[in-house]
């Protein structure tokens, strides 16, 4: 077998200093609550409007709404169904789901089910717009292949994939970052019989947790340095925030630094980093300084083969990790704080658990979690492709580029055939969380050495640290058509760091 190299790299060498994050932080002028004073909220599970014909149908309205995020003030948001985060959708493996989205916002939108094994027409390509009623604007970059609809669109997801937690968010070209910042994000959980046969924590002991950062003006409104606050014509942010926008308030399920009462038993934390640019390194610490293990049981694309125990766990934007925390032995009335080792001040705090009572624990963490994690082998690969992710020149100034090129929807950057196994090598200048649409992948190596322990399992986001290079392997299966790979620092994405993948 011969490997074909494409898109050669000229960048080499590691930076001497690895900063904790890429981007600049906005400083709130609002009066902020103290950490761990507000109760955690768990987003509602959306009820289907139909369950007939072997599939489930849902409806969501994208609309403006306000919410009391900071006590005593209202914050205007763009929402799915009037809530932030949007409602959680629960589905079953192999049972198709159709979600009818109605756009009542003032700008076009696109919905992407992140991590979904989805046909191209429903994947949320950035130019496949749902136009609001009466929209008269022109696309900033014309795309002859764009599939646009007026006001409503049905997205169909086959759900032909392993049980896991996905998330859905806006993916409109050039304006993804401010749309997510304003509230267009929600979680989607896939269940299956394989996972349910395990005795992992469930019910109230299973917590979906969307972690994100925001900053607020004195009147409670969201801060964001958009060049065009209407999000209609001029994409991008003020130059000092072009590396990424960081907030100084950490929200979990839309609540600033919440606290949650728990029994002294194992809990399953379904962690999602829904921040635009902020990275986290989470640890669970008791009030007397004792660290609890984070036992990883899942990654972006579902259960990993065997549990992996961590003292702390890093999450890049768009990554998901499934971890078990055991509160047994923590005294009733005391707290366990989920803290961010990469933060300072308020961004060091995330979430607290207050131990309310002792209880009998019916859960169990098996030694073997899954035996269906794909085991792609380097010897199967028919191509090695290399891509650099770095700052670069765009048509209208500096931005972020892949292999020296800024995104153009009409250009095919990579073409491969359905069923092909390939190795891709990525190199970064600063932090870049790289997301592949359609497929999951295995991490082969970092910097020529082994993957990190948290790289276990099947992923759809790989976090590159400054100056680092990594190799991944995947099989391009599922559907033919046009897909994307891109940086999931949302500001980088909006400023050119996307590329087209054509599966033929």
pLDDT tens profile 193-216: 999 999 999 999 999 999 999 999
Query: What CATH number was assigned to the domain covering residues 5-19+372-503?
Result: 2.60.40.420
Residues contacting 292, CB < 8 A, separation 6+ = 284, 285, 286, 325, 326, 327, 330, 336
304 by Cβ neighbours in 10 Å (0-12 / 13-18 / 19+) ranks as buried
Is the pTM of the predicted complex or chain greater than 0.85? yes
Strand extents, DSSP E, 257-317: 258-263, 266-273, 280-286, 291-292, 294-299, 302-310, 313-315
Question: 503: burial class by Cβ within 10 Å (0-12, 13-18, 19+)?
Answer: buried
Using CB atoms within 10 A of its CB, is residue 335 exposed (0-12), middle (13-18) or buried (19+)? Answer: middle
Encode pLDDT of 30-53 as tens digits.
Answer: 999 999 999 999 999 999 999 999
Q: Are strands 152-157 and 149-150 parallel, antiparallel or unpaired?
A: unpaired
Burial of 110 (C-beta count, 10 Å sphere; 0-12/13-18/19+): buried
Q: CATH number of 203-357: 2.60.40.420, 2.40.50.140, 2.60.120.10, 1.20.1740.10?
A: 2.60.40.420
Cα gap 486→125, rounded to integer Å: 12
Which residues, other chains included, contact 234 with Cβ-Cβ below 8 Å and sequence gap of 6+?
227, 228
Picking from 348, 201, 362, 181, the residue whose alpha carbon sits closest to that of residue 270 is 201
DSSP 8-state assignment for residue 459: B
Instruction: Using DSSP bridges, classify how beta strands 185-191 and 86-92 pair: parallel, antiparallel or unpaired.
Output: parallel
CA 113-416-410 angle, to 5 degrees, is: 70
Q: What is the dihedral of CA 370, 373, 379, 383, to 10 degrees?
A: -170
Pairing of strands 130-131, 149-150: parallel
- CATH 2.60.40.420 region(s) of the chain? 5-19+372-503, 37-194, 203-357
End-to-end CA, the chain:
21
The b/e string for 337-359 (b: 16+ C-beta within 10 A; e otherwise) is bbbbebbeebbebbbbbbbeeee
**454 DSSP assignment:** G
- What gap in Å lies between CA 296 and CA 365, rounded to an integer? 10
Helix, strand or coil for residue 446?
strand
65: buried, middle or exposed (CB in 10 Å: 19+, 13-18, 0-12)? middle
Q: Is 345 helix (H, G, I), strand (E, B) or coil?
A: helix
Residue 41 CB burial class (10 angstroms; 0-12, 13-18, ≥19): middle
> Hey, what are 153's tokens?
């669109």
| CATH code that applies to domain 37-194 | 2.60.40.420
**In which region does residue 145 sit, left (phi positive, over 0), alpha (psi from -120 to 50) or beta (all else)?**
alpha
Per-residue pLDDT of the chain (504 residues; tens, 9 = 90+): 333 333 333 323 333 345 778 999 999 999 999 999 999 999 999 999 999 999 999 999 999 999 999 999 999 999 999 999 999 999 999 999 999 999 999 999 999 999 999 999 999 999 999 999 999 887 778 899 999 999 999 999 999 999 999 999 999 999 999 999 999 999 999 999 999 999 999 999 999 999 999 999 999 999 999 999 999 999 999 999 999 999 999 999 999 999 999 999 999 999 999 999 999 999 999 999 999 999 999 999 999 999 999 999 999 999 999 999 999 999 999 999 999 999 999 999 999 999 999 999 999 999 999 999 999 999 999 999 999 999 997 766 789 999 999 999 999 999 999 999 999 999 999 999 999 999 999 999 999 999 999 999 999 999 999 999 999 999 999 999 999 999 999 999 999 999 999 999
Element (H, E) at 180: helix 176-181
Q: How far is the C-alpha of 109 from the C-alpha of 80, rounded, in Å? A: 11
């Amino acid at each position: 077998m011969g490997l074909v190299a494409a898109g050669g790299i000229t960048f080499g060498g590691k930076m001497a200093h690895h900063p904790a994050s890429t981007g600049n932080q906005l400083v709130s002028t609002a009066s902020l609550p103290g950490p761990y004073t507000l109760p955690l909220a768990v987003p509602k599970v959306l009820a289907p409007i139909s369950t007939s014909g072997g599939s489930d149908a849902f409806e969501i309205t994208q609309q403006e709404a306000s919410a009391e995020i900071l006590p005593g003030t209202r914050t205007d948001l763009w929402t799915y169904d009037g809530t932030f985060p949007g409602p959680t959708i629960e589905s079953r493996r192999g049972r198709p789901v159709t979600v009818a989205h109605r756009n009542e916002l003032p700008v076009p939108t696109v919905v992407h089910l992140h991590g979904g094994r989805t046909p191209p027409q429903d994947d949320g390509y950035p130019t496949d717009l749902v136009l609001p009623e009466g929209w008269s604007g022109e696309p900033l970059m014309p795309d002859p292949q764009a599939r646009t609809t007026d006001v409503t669109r049905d997205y169909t997801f086959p759900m032909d994939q392993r049980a896991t937690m996905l998330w859905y968010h806006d993916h409109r070209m050039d304006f993804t970052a401010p749309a997510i910042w304003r509230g267009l994000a929600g979680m989607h959980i896939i269940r299956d019989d394989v996972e349910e046969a395990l005795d992992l924590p469930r019910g109230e002991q299973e917590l979906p947790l969307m972690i994100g950062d925001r900053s607020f003006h004195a009147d409670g409104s969201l801060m964001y340095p958009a060049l065009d606050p209407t999000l209609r014509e001029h994409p991008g942010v003020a130059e000092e925030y072009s590396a990424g926008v960081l907030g100084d308030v950490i929200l979990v399920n839309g609540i600033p630094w919440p606290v949650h009462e728990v029994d002294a038993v194992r809990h399953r934390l379904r962690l999602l980093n829904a921040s635009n640019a902020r990275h986290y390194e989470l640890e669970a610490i008791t009030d007397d300084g004792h660290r609890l293990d984070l036992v990883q049981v899942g990654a972006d694309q579902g259960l990993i083969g065997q549990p992996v125990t961590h003292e702390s766990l890093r999450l890049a934007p768009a990554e998901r990790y499934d971890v078990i925390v055991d509160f047994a032995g923590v005294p009733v009335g005391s707290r366990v704080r989920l803290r961010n080792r990469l933060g300072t001040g308020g961004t060091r705090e995330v979430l607290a658990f207050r131990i309310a009572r002792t209880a009998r624990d019916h859960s169990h963490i098996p030694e073997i979690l899954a035996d269906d994690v794909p085991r792609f082998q380097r010897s199967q690969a028919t191509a090695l492709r290399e891509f650099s992710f770095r700052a670069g020149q765009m048509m209208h100034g500096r931005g972020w580029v892949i292999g020296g090129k800024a995104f153009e929807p009409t250009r095919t950057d990579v073409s491969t055939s359905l069923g092909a196994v390939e190795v891709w090598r990525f190199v970064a200048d600063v932090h870049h969380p790289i997301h592949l649409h359609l497929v999951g992948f295995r991490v082969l190596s970092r910097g020529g050495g082994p993957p990190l322990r948290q790289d276990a399992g099947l992923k759809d986001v790989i976090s590159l640290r400054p100056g680092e290079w990594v190799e991944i392997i995947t099989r391009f299966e599922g559907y033919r058509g046009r897909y994307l790979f891109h940086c999931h620092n949302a500001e980088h994405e909006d400023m050119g760091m996307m590329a087209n993948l054509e599966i033929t």
